Amino acid sequence: MSVLIFVDTAEGHVKKASLEVLSYGAKVAEQLGTTAEGVVLGNATEDLAALGKFGVKKIHQVNNEQLAHLDAQVYTNVIAQVAAATGATVIVFSNNVDGKAIAPRLSAKLKAGLVSGAVALPETANGFIVKKSVFSGKAFAHVSIHSAIKIIALNPNAYQVTEGQGSAEVMAFNATVPTPKVKVTNVSKASGEVPLTEAEIVVSAGRGMKGPENWGIIEDLAKALHAATACSRPVADAHWRPHHEHVGQTGIAIAPNLYIAIGISGAIQHLAGVNRSKVIVVINKDPEAPFFKAADYGIVGDAFEVVPQLTAAIKKLKGVA
Ligand SMILES: Cc1cc2nc3c(=O)[nH]c(=O)nc-3n(C[C@H](O)[C@H](O)[C@H](O)COP(=O)(O)OP(=O)(O)OC[C@H]3O[C@@H](n4cnc5c(N)ncnc54)[C@H](O)[C@@H]3O)c2cc1C
């Protein structure tokens, strides 16, 4: 019996979401009186032993060229092998893009109950009950898992990273890696330096910007904050911005530490994709805009006046010209 945590990496680096699941999985292991172990697929360039600070005792690394890019079928197969070898009874993923692709497949393969979108530690005193977010964060469900193997996909930003002392034993795991049915031939970044789903800070804008020619001030602010850019759906539909920037119910769901919404009204379908952000700042000229109800901080004002001033103030604070 052990808790196995999938440690997600990008370009060799451990993602922040993985630190959250490592901390979470270690706590679950503590609750169950067992140990937490991590699994890393591909060539991680980071010091994996250092992940012991987040509570894992062992890291199983499967370093194989076929694992350089996520292939959900191949990853599922390999993780199943690691789970069998380690006798994992609880397997934890981040409910991010990779976790959403792998966890359901692994659940089917291992005949394991899966709770995706978990937001809290499981209650283990009487059974195994996981609290999850439902209806785009409007409600919570408590789900009891009865299968021998249990899989949890934890929502990003739902659990605090806890860093302590310690070092993990890094072990090479000799897996049989199946030949992928598809092959990634080329990867080119869509835009900007910071991927939207991984960004700590997101600067997002809506129809209040009037047209694509005005996005310069949004990009300047994003650059000053080292943030990713996003947009509301009508903006993407009108081709003012690319579709991969569209956040919301029908777009990407994100959970950055800081979400700055500029000239966005705050329709429920937009909020559905951003309401897990830790801090929300709204800039809108209409004091009655619904977004202010969801905001931690609000600026009532014209974006064309407020945003350049904000960018200048941030640059001054950072000592950048
Ligand atoms: C089934 C369905 C799914 C949907 N999915 C999504 C989704 O995933 N994501 C999404 O975003 N929407 C989605 N929508 C659309 C959603 O309902 C809203 O229509 C949309 O979010 C509004 O976009 P907006 O806030 O950019 O534009 P608007 O509603 O037009 O709001 C523009 C805002 O800008 C402000 N403004 C104007 N000028 C300025 C200025 N100079 N300075 C500051 N503020 C200014 C206005 O006061 C206003 O609040 C969906 C709708 C449906 C029916």
48-101: per-residue pLDDT in tens?
Answer: 999 999 999 999 999 998 898 899 999 999 999 999 999 999 999 999 989 999
Chain mean position to CA 241: 22
For 306, the 3-state DSSP assignment is helix
Ligand 1 centroid to residue 264 C-alpha, Å: 5
Instruction: State which amino acid sits at residue 243.
Output: H
Question: Is the distance from the beta carbon of residue 285 to the nearest atom of ligand 1 less than 6 Å?
Answer: yes
Ligand 1 centroid to residue 202 C-alpha, Å: 17
The reported pLDDT for the residue numbered 276 is 87
The reported pLDDT for the residue numbered 141 is 97
Nearest ligand 1 atom, CA 264: 25
Residue range 17-31: mean pLDDT, rounded = 96
Beta strands 36-41 and 2-7, pairing class: parallel
- Residues near 296 by beta carbon (within 8 Å), at least 6 away in sequence: 279, 280, 281
Ligand 1 centroid to residue 294 C-alpha, Å: 14
Least confident of 4-13, 98-107, 113-122, 284-293: 4-13
22-47 exposure pattern, b = at least 16 Cβ within 10 A, e = fewer = bbbbbbbbebbebbbbbbbbbebeee
Q: What is the pTM of this model?
A: 0.80
Ligand 1 centroid to residue 194 C-alpha, Å: 24
**Per-residue confidence at 143, pLDDT binned at 50, 70, 90?**
very high
The reported pLDDT for the residue numbered 195 is 79
Nearest ligand 1 atom, CA 268: 17
- Residues near 122 by beta carbon (within 8 Å), at least 6 away in sequence: 28, 31, 128, 129, 130, 152
Least confident of 109-123, 193-207, 270-284, 300-314: 193-207
Name the one residue in this structure whose structure tokens are 């539909």.
237
